[in-house]
A and B are shown apart, each in its own frame.
Chain A
Amino acid sequence: GQSLEQPSEVTAVEGAIVQINCTYQTSGFYGLSWYQQHDGGAPTFLSYNALDGLEETGRFSSFLSRSDSYGYLLLQELQMKDSASYFCAGGNAGNMLTFGGGTRLMVKP
């Protein structure tokens, strides 16, 4: 099985950089995904790391270290619209994802 731990809440100011960490205990792990969910909305895919290292997609970057069972999502140049919940998810075969508890990001002006 898998379990993923992430902070429950993070607060940052507009324009800043924030890092959301995710540590996991797992077996049969394919990779680490990140999803964003605004209140009342559906989770949307942000990033996926199959291999160790950094993946960059615009203002968002994600990092994975399998040896440390650790990953993070980095959000740069924060905007008010980035206020949302962010979930890390560990993947197994067949699209069976195990999600962390989610990190609620509040961006303040």
Chain B
Amino acid sequence: KAGVTQTPRYLIKTRGQQVTLSCSPISGHRSVSWYQQTPGQGLQFLFEYFSETQRNKGNFPGRFSGRQFSNSRSEMNVSTLELGDSALYLCASSLAGAEGNTIYFGEGSWLTVV
């Protein structure tokens, strides 16, 4: 069974631009969550989608948004990029909510903002 797939793996953007990251969950998984990882702040929860609905949202500004499609694939968007948005963005999927909190991460998208 294929794992969580994220694209693109690496990207460089300029301040003020926007970026869209894509995530394909493990087949059959309906919950997709997004995390940001930085050396300073660690792993932080961005948001979680289940059946195309945002179920939870972390403490991030409105520039960070996401959506989920009917096939469970998800995208996240960051608008008006800032230098501090440089991070590893991780997508994770699971069958449903709170099932042992076992979530499976993709390899991540490395975003550098210059």
Residues of A within 8 A of B (CB): 30-31, 33, 35, 41-45, 48, 50, 87, 89, 91-102
Instruction: Report if B107 contacts A (CB, 8 A).
Output: yes
A99 contacts B103, C-beta separation under 8 Å: no
| Contact of A45 with B48 at beta-carbon distance under 8 Å, contacts A30-B98, A99-B42 already known | no
B107 contacts A93, C-beta separation under 8 Å: no
A95 contacts B106, C-beta separation under 8 Å: no
A43 contacts B101, C-beta separation under 8 Å: no
Instruction: Report if B16 contacts A (CB, 8 A).
Output: no
B90 contacts A95, C-beta separation under 8 Å: no
Count of chain B residues near A, Cβ 8 A: 26
A44 contacts B102, C-beta separation under 8 Å: no
Residues of A within 8 A of B31 (CB): 94-95
Residues of B within 8 A of A99 (CB): 35, 42-44
- B102's contact among A45, A87, A100, by CB below 8 Å, is which? A45
A96 contacts B105, C-beta separation under 8 Å: no
With both chains docked as a complex, state the minimum distance between the C-beta of A62 and any C-beta of chain B, in angstroms.
12
| Contact of A96 with B45 at beta-carbon distance under 8 Å, contacts A31-B100, A89-B101 already known | yes
SS class of chain B's interface: helix, strand, loop or mixed? strand
- Could you tell me the distance between the alpha carbons of A12 and B55 in the complex, rounded to whole angstroms? 41
| Contact of A45 with B104 at beta-carbon distance under 8 Å, contacts A94-B98, A95-B33, A101-B42 already known | yes
Residues of B within 8 A of A96 (CB): 33, 45, 48, 56, 58
A94 contacts B107, C-beta separation under 8 Å: no
- B97's contact among A43, A50, A94, A101, by CB below 8 Å, is which? A94
| Contact of A45 with B106 at beta-carbon distance under 8 Å, contacts A94-B55, A99-B42 already known | no
B106 contacts A43, C-beta separation under 8 Å: no
- Chain A CB within 10 Å, residue with most, of B31, B50, B92, B100: B100
Residue of A nearest to B31 (CB): A95
